Amino acid sequence: MTTMFNISCFRESTDFKEAIYPYLSAAIMPNNMILGMTDAALTTIPASTDFIGLVVQNSDKFMGATLSTKPGWLCLSQCHEDAVAPLLKGWIEAHGKPAHVFGPEPTISLAIAYLKNCFEMSPATTQKNLAYELLKVVPPARPTWGKMRLAVEEDLTFLPAWEERMIIDCKLPEAHDTALHERCCANAKKFVGGSKIAIWEDANGTPVSMCRKAREASFGTSVSGVYTPDAHRGHGYASHLVALFSQKLLDDGALRCLLFTDAENPTSNGIYQRIGYNYCCDFCRADY
């Protein structure tokens, strides 16, 4: 007996949220990325031509969803295993082959296999990520000198270079963008203007580490962009900065803090675990 799937397309973030939240919000992890992107789109791109959400159903049963807010980028929710193929098939038929696919396990592995078997798409690179959440900060055991502060306009003399170096070091797809420097300058200016970047200053008042607030959602706030230049590593600056910044986000009303790490970076994973971030699930990004 052939299973019939219904695919619904959404171009408005408000409508997409109404369609997915009753189902995906019951399992924040591993659906935090697609839920967070949806919440962010409500204020940034409520009617953007770049917003495309698909929902797959079997009769009236919700089976999974996918979302793109930037051309070529596709984020998957946790999907029923039978729904991955029709969801991706529907996407490709309507919008073409994606350049980047991101999602939780085991859905993302099923997606990679389907794209390879049915569309002869093999990823050029893949990166495994670990998703964490924090409900209570554990102060770093190791003391360090300095203080946290929010970034100001004067910090734009070095923040774009830090952002650019972080993207390259983390091997993000943007690292190959010929306009990377210009994008980093624009992003740094935007984040500073929105009071989203925090900086750790050492005892001499020298900026030595940064992190930033990313997606703000009803269920929590994401932390990203953690970076310490090589010359300042090994002193515990990032540990103290992320701990204090996460506490600030909780104090400001966030229900939880969330972040992603490179699964193959034991240093960063150890830092976050020691300050209270708890591992929740595996994600993977496939770049084509």
Rounded average pLDDT over 40-50: 71
Q: How confident is the model at residue 47 (pLDDT cuts 50, 70, 90)?
A: low
Give the tens place of pLDDT for each residue, 257-272.
999 999 999 999 999 9
Give the tens place of pLDDT for each residue, 93-124.
999 999 999 999 999 999 999 999 988 999 99
Is 45 a residue whose pLDDT tops 60? no
DSSP state of 24: H
Which domains are present in the chain?
6-122 (3.40.630), 134-281 (3.40.630.30)
Rounded average pLDDT over 20-37: 95
Determine phi and psi for 166, rounding to 5 degrees: -65, -45
262 by DSSP, 3-state: which? strand
Give the tens place of pLDDT for each residue, 133-181.
999 999 999 989 999 999 999 999 999 999 999 999 988 888 888 899 9
Give the tens place of pLDDT for each residue, 5-19.
999 999 999 999 999
Give the tens place of pLDDT for each residue, 199-248.
999 999 999 999 999 989 999 999 999 999 999 999 999 999 999 999 99
In Å, what is the CA distance from 114 to each residue of 7, 81, 92? 17, 11, 12
% of the chain at pLDDT higher than 90: 86
pLDDT at residue 209, as a whole number: 98
Burial class (CB in 10 A: 0-12, 13-18, 19+), 235: middle
| Residue 24 identity (one-letter amino acid) | L
Give the tens place of pLDDT for each residue, 172-186.
888 888 899 999 999
Distance CA 114, CA 122 (A): 10
Q: Which two tokens stand for residue 119?
A: 């569309």
Give the tens place of pLDDT for each residue, 58-82.
988 999 999 999 899 999 999 999 9
Is 85 a residue whose pLDDT tops 70? yes
Distance CA 181, CA 163 (A): 9
Is 48 a residue whose pLDDT tops 90? no
Q: How confident is the model at residue 46 (pLDDT cuts 50, 70, 90)?
A: very low
Residue 64 and residue 72 in contact, taking contact as beta carbons nearer than 8 Å? no
Torsion-angle region of 21 (φ positive above 0: left; ψ -120 to 50: alpha; else: beta): alpha
pLDDT at residue 221, as a whole number: 96
Is 49 a residue whose pLDDT tops 80? no
Q: How confident is the model at residue 2 (pLDDT cuts 50, 70, 90)?
A: low
pLDDT at residue 241, as a whole number: 98
Residue 280 and residue 104 in contact, taking contact as beta carbons nearer than 8 Å? no
User: CA torsion angle for 49, 33, 246, 232 (degrees, to 10)?
Assistant: -90
Average pLDDT along the chain: 94
| Residue 183 identity (one-letter amino acid) | R
Those residues with Cβ within 8 angstroms of residue 173's Cβ, 6 or more apart along the chain or in another chain:
99, 100, 285, 287
| Residue 89 identity (one-letter amino acid) | K
